[in-house]
Amino acid sequence: MDAFNDALSGGCKGMDYLIRTNGGDPHCSVLLSSLLCDGLSTHDQERLLAGMRVKECQRGDVLYLEDDEVTEVLSVLSGLVKITKLGASGAVVLLRLAAHDGLLGAADLVSTGRHTATAEVLRSGLVLAWRASIFKSMVESRPALLLRILQTQADWLRELEERFHEMATDHVGPRVARQLVRLHEKMNPPSNDHVEIPISHEELAQMTGTNLYTISRLFAEWQGNGVVRARRQVVSVRDVEFLREIYECPKREI
C-alpha cells in the first residue's frame, strides 16, 4: 500500500521521506509500537501508515504558529519540539517539550481547527505527518483513535496542573529542580546516567515562571556541587538524585 505521493506543506527544512508499508521501513515499526496505534485494528493501523510521511527537521524550524489553521497532525519520532505561547505583553511561556510519541495538532484539529500555540524544533530529528483532512476523517469514524488523543492530552494537562501547583506553592529552587527531573525523564535515559537537555537558561525560566537571573544564580550554585553543567543552549544533568532531593525535601534546597 503506497503512501500519498503529493507533498505536505510544513515548516521543516530538508527532505521528506515517503513511507511504504511493504518496505520494512523502521519508521513503520516505530509508529506501530507507539501510543497512537495502541488499541487500533490492523486495518486502521494500515490506514495510518498509508497516509503518513516522515519529515526531517532542523533546530529552529517552526512547525506551525499560534492561530495557524491546522493543516497536518504531527507525531515526534526523534528530536525535541518546544510548544510556546505568546502573552499580550510579549512575554513567552514554554508550555511543554514534546519528545518521542509527542502528538502535535490533533487536539486543536478536533476542537477549533486552529493551533493554540507555536511549535519549534529544539533538537533536530524526524516527525511523522498526516494531512489534517485524512486524520480528522479517521478520528470521526474510529473512537479508539480519539481515545488515544484524549489520553495524550490528559497526560499533558496533568503535567501543566503539576507545574501550576508548583508555581503557586513552591519556592523557585524546588520547582526548577522538579522541571529538570521531568526533562531528564523525557530524554528516556537507560538509568540515572548523565543526560544533555537542549534547553537554554531563558527557556527553562519560561517553563518555571521565573527569570533568567534566578536560573543563572541557581545554576552557579548547582554547578559548584556537580549537580548540573550548563553551556550555550544545553543543560547537562549530572546528579538527578540530588535534584529529586531538592524538591522532595525542600530544606535541602541550596
Q: pLDDT, tens digit, for every residue of 152-192?
A: 888 888 989 999 999 998 999 999 999 999 988 887 666 65
Are 16-156 and 167-252 in the same CATH fold? yes
Phi first, then psi: what are they for 215, rounded to 5°? Answer: -60, -45
Three-class DSSP category at 191? coil
Question: For 175-186, how does the pLDDT look when each residue is reduced to its tens digit (9 = 90+)?
Answer: 999 999 998 888
Give the residue-averaged pLDDT of 140-155: 81
Note the pLDDT tens digit of each residue in 33-84.
455 666 666 776 677 777 778 889 999 999 999 999 999 999 888 889 999 9
Q: Count the Cβ atoms, other than its own, within 10 Å of residue 158.
A: 10
For every residue of 168-233, DSSP letters joined together read HHS-HHHHHHHHHHHHHHHT--SSS--EEE---HHHHHHHHT--HHHHHHHHHHHHHTTSEEEETT
Q: What angle do CA 48, 51, 57 make, to 5 degrees?
A: 100
Q: Record the pTM.
A: 0.76
**Each residue of 120-138: pLDDT tens digit?**
999 899 888 889 988 888 8
CATH 3.40.50.2300 describes domain 16-156: no
The count of C-alpha atoms lying within 13 angstroms of the C-alpha of 26, restricted to the half-sphere facing its C-beta, is: 3
If one compares 106 and 11, the residue with the highest pLDDT of the two is 106
Q: Is 167-252 CATH 2.60.120.10?
A: yes
Which is higher by pLDDT, 212 or 38?
212
Domain boundaries, the chain: 16-156, 167-252
Cα Rg of the chain, angstroms: 19
Query: Distance (Å, rounded) from C-alpha 70 to C-alpha 64?
Result: 8
Residue entry with cell 541550596: 254
The pLDDT value recorded for residue 189 is 62
Collapsing DSSP states into helix, strand and coil, what is residue 27? helix
Cα separation, 61 vs 83, whole angstroms:
12
Q: In the prediction, which pLDDT does 22 show?
A: 36
Integer Cα distance of 169 and 230 in angstroms? 27
**Neighbour tally for 208: CB within 10 Å:** 23
Residue 135 phi/psi, 5-degree rounding, is -65, -40
pLDDT at 146: 81
Would you state the pLDDT for residue 34? 55
Percent of the chain whose predicted confidence (pLDDT) is above 90: 34
The closest alpha carbon to 180, from 156, 201, 150, 161, belongs to 201
Rounded to an integer, the average pLDDT of 131-150 is: 83
Flag whether pLDDT at 9 surpasses 70. no
- Describe the crossing of helices 212-224 and 201-208 by its angle, rounded to 10 degrees: 110
**Collapsing DSSP states into helix, strand and coil, what is residue 238?**
coil
pLDDT given for residue 74 in this prediction: 92
